[in-house]
Structure 1
Amino acid sequence: MKEVNPVANRKDVAKLAGVSEATVSRVFNEVGPIREETKQKVLQAAAEIGYYPNAIAQSFAKGKSNNIGVIVPYLPKVHLMSTHYFSELLSGIGAKLGEKGYGLLLLFQSPDEPKDYVQLFRSQKVDGCIILGSKNIPGEIEALSKLKELQLPYCLVNQTFSGYLFHTIDADHVQGSFEAVSALIKKGFEQIIFVNGPLEYSNSSDRFQGYSSALEMAGIARKDQLIFQGNYSRKSGYELAERIAPILRNSEAIFAANDRMAIGLMQGLSSHGYQAGRDYVLVGYDDSEMARMTSPPLSSVKVPLFEMGQLAAEKILELLTNPEHQVINEKLPVTLIERATTLWGQSPKNTL
């Protein structure tokens, strides 16, 4: 597909198609009778030079779909809707859109699929889009830049891009991680294992920053041998238990970047005879429903995912009426919730 050419205009299309600018306007606005031959000539000329009416904004003048597209990643064998993260965000988005009379159109995107968010607006299926699960990979910034350039209503959730001013709703993951690790340090732990997610997600980078800052503020040197990386799945936490178990004798504190990895760790370490809250302390992240159901219950950083979804929906509706809205960049606060996995009466061993 021909890329959008922001410089091309209706005069260029008219010249190439051999028709008047008024005819080009009638074709794109679907006004009045137009011969099919003339219509196809105009559309072909527009495609050749990469012109789309700005506005795709004109679709709003003609009528709206009253749907907001919510883009989520499609990963085979992963039931995203059963995860706390996506279910809470979508519930928040759906609740707010429903209040305002809008529908939610769920759109799945494969990791290897070319990024072209503008196409959603060309098809007139949605009036705006909320993007979940975005990450810093080739093509993503370019696709988002096109949305921004065309002033189309969009909003990222839980992802930022350094150096780029995209509309974003996020949580304060730097502060959340800082508070979690600082709480462990106050309990007397200095050798704190950190299990992070992939760094292509900005919240992984934020959590690493919070972890590092807490250690630095306490005068504790960060040690690479205590830092591990999973992929935010329970399975990755379970598999990392094989590498973490041998060093638990000298380091009894673990901070995991989400609850799913933390729960996987608990399960994996139990097969080595280690029990959370008895042999080591553990803090997860997200405060999912499963954190309260584990045995023992998991300490975790509560992220207001439902509220983030509501706010993203609220902001996208504001953008519908004001495409030139100032850049949205809001971060919601998070809270450390302590449960049995960090209530440990033994004296920590702090030698490695």
Structure 2
Amino acid sequence: MDRKTPTIQDVARFANVSTATVSRALSAPEKVSEGTRARVAEAIRVTGYTLNQAGRSLRQRSAKTILVAIPDIRNPFFSSILDAIEREAATRGYGVLVLNLYFGRETIRRLQDFLLSNRADGLLLLDGSVDTDLLRAVSQQAGEIPIVVACEEIPNAGFHTVLTDNVEAAERATRHLIDLGHRRIGHIMGPEHNVVSRERITGYGRALADAGLTPQPEWQFRGNFDMESGFAAAARFLSLNDRPSAVFAANDESAIGFLSGLRQRGILCPRDISMVGFDDLAVASHYVPPLTTMRQPREAMGRMAAEALIDLIEDPEALAIPLRIVLRSELVVRESTGRLASVGRPSLEVDMSPARI
């Protein structure tokens, strides 16, 4: 006998809630408690329920479009990634929709609106903070729409993923400062709960540990991946009696904000402090001094993520085992890092030619 098609009533019984609560959890998740959302998501997974059981057949009417969801469209980090995604999609005959997720609790509803309207055939997610269970529920509602995650990994989620080597790259960035003789090395962090921030501070800590150095809590400055938080970190740095001689920042924007704040107080780089950033934004090579930084292969990441998503759209069995591609970042040495002089201050001896490691 054929198995009975699961209904919303089955989901409600399994989750021990009303059908109205199930509906609300799917259409307006911000109005439902986190615990209830988790129970409903688990019930959907176990029962195999989809909001629209005709979703699979509707998916056959391809929109020839992919949806790219990013955490903040204002961040220049995403520009070259989006460009690479659009170029790859165009060569495959697909258009691109961009969804800005900078809307807090409205994130899942906005994803639902796009995916359930059949305006996109797949989702390329550049944000690792989206609730995994609700993301899976949305995918099921839309007829198991393919999902690829890039830039920020969602640990243990099982999604196809393309990212860079954040831990290892941060370790190399910090080791570059150690190789220049620095032993007092600070760090400007990213957002506290961001997976990339955690990975980069892990790499920073590993490099220090390998060199027999102990991270000093007062030399670890809170940040938010923007110039304003870097500028604020400079104020905290200036308030210290015991200051580091070098700083590794979790991204270029915070590094530039930090150096700007120090320059206003007469502290110059690399004369008084060495600085390493992360990302190699376009502004990094044109800042004064040009910034030593970790260059992420953003174009390759965008191209490969788009390629994987379109492969999944066109052949759902093409990638039966979850894909996990980790690309290597590149250390680009410019003028913001100098060797520590014997008197305890960075010297002005700096290699002026860009180098790649």
Alignment match, 1:34: none
Conserved? CA contact 2:170–2:203, under 8 Å: yes
Please say if 1:97 is aligned against 2:92.
Answer: no
Moved more, 278-287 or 51-60: 51-60
Match of 2:336 among 313, 329, 341: 341
Aligned residue in 2 for 1:31: none
Using the alignment, how far apart are the partners of 2:273 and 2:225 within structure 1?
A: 21
Q: Which amino acid aligns with 2:114?
A: L
TM-score (norm 2): 0.77
Report what 2:24 is aligned to: none
Q: Find the counterpart in structure 2 of residue 142 from structure 1.
A: 133
Contact 1:189 1:348 in 2 (8 A): no
- 2:69 aligns to what? 71
Answer yes or no: is the 8 Å Cα contact 1:197–1:204 preserved in 2. Answer: yes
1:78-157 matched pairs, under 5 angstroms = 80=74, 83-109=75-101, 110-116=103-109, 117-135=111-129, 140-146=131-137, 151-157=144-150
Q: Distance in 2 between matches of 1:146 and 1:168?
A: 19
How many residues align structurally? 298
Kept after mapping to 2: 8 A contact 1:251/1:349: no
Alpha-carbon distance between aligned partners in 2 of 1:308 and 1:7, rounded to the nearest angstrom: 40
TM-score by length of 1: 0.78
1:266-277 paired onto structure 2 within 5 Å = 266-277=259-270
Quick check: 1:224 aligned with 2:217?
yes
| Identical aligned residues as a percent | 28
Deviations 1:220-256 (A, max 9, x none): 1122111111100111101111111244864210000
Map of 1:19 onto structure 2? none
- Secondary structure of the 1:340 match is coil
The answer to whether the 8 Å contact 1:71/1:108 transfers is: yes
Q: 1:327 aligns with which of 322, 326, 348?
A: 322
Is this contact kept in 2: 1:151–1:323, CA < 8 A? no
Cα distance in structure 2, aligned partners of 1:211 and 1:189: 13
Contact 1:56 1:121 in 2 (8 A): no
Structure 2: where are the runs of 5+ without partners?
11-47, 346-357
- Cα deviations by residue, 1:150-199 (Å, 9 ceiling, x for unpaired): 63211111112333222221100111100000111111111110001013
Q: Given that residues 144 and 166 in structure 1 are in contact (C-alpha distance below 8 angstroms), is that contact kept between their aligned partners in structure 2?
A: no
Deviations 1:196-219 (A, max 9, x none): 101322111110110011111111
Mapped contact 1:287–1:301 kept (Cα < 8 A): yes
- Name the CA distance, whole Å, in 2 between partners of 1:71 and 1:248: 44
Instruction: Map 1:15-26 onto structure 2 (within 5 A).
Output: none
Name the stretch that deviates more: 263-272 or 220-229. Answer: 220-229
Aligned ranges 1:1-352 → 2 under 5 Å? 8=6, 51-53=50-52, 56-61=55-60, 63-74=61-72, 80=74, 83-109=75-101, 110-116=103-109, 117-135=111-129, 140-146=131-137, 151-247=144-240, 250-324=243-317, 325=319, 326-344=321-339, 346-347=341-342, 349=344
SS in 2 for 1:209: helix
TM-superposition CA deviations, 1:300-330 (whole Å, max 9, x none): 0000111111111001001113334321211
Query: Partner of 1:33 in structure 2?
Result: none
| Distance in 1, Cα, partners of 2:250 & 2:54 | 41
| 1:195–1:227 CA contact under 8 A, matched in 2 | yes
2: CA distance between counterparts of 1:146 and 1:348? 61
Q: C-alpha separation between the residues in 2 aligned to 1:144 and 1:323? A: 18
Is the 1:252–1:280 Cα contact (8 Å) retained in structure 2?
Answer: yes
Larger deviation, residues 308-317 vs 340-349:
340-349
- Matched to 1:347, the amino acid is S
Q: Deviations over 1:270-306 (max 9, x none)?
A: 1111111111100000011111011110100000111
Change (3 A) 1:262 1:112: same
Aligned residue for 1:170, secondary structure, equals strand
Point out the more displaced range, 176-185 or 160-169.
Answer: 160-169
Could you tell me whether the CA contact under 8 Å between 2:301 and 2:327 is conserved in 1?
yes
Q: Secondary structure at the match of 1:343?
A: coil
Contact 2:219 2:243 in 1 (8 A): no
- Whose Rg is larger? 1
Superposition RMSD in Å: 2.5
Q: Secondary structure of the residue that 1:323 maps to in structure 2?
A: coil
Residue 50 of structure 1 deviates from its aligned partner by 6.7
Partner Cα separation in structure 1 for residue 343 and residue 332 of structure 2: 21
- Cα distance, 1:56–1:248 mapped onto 2, change above 3 Å: farther
Partner deviation per Cα, 1:112-163 (whole Å, 9 max, x = no partner)? 3151435433210101111123426xxx122223256663211111112333
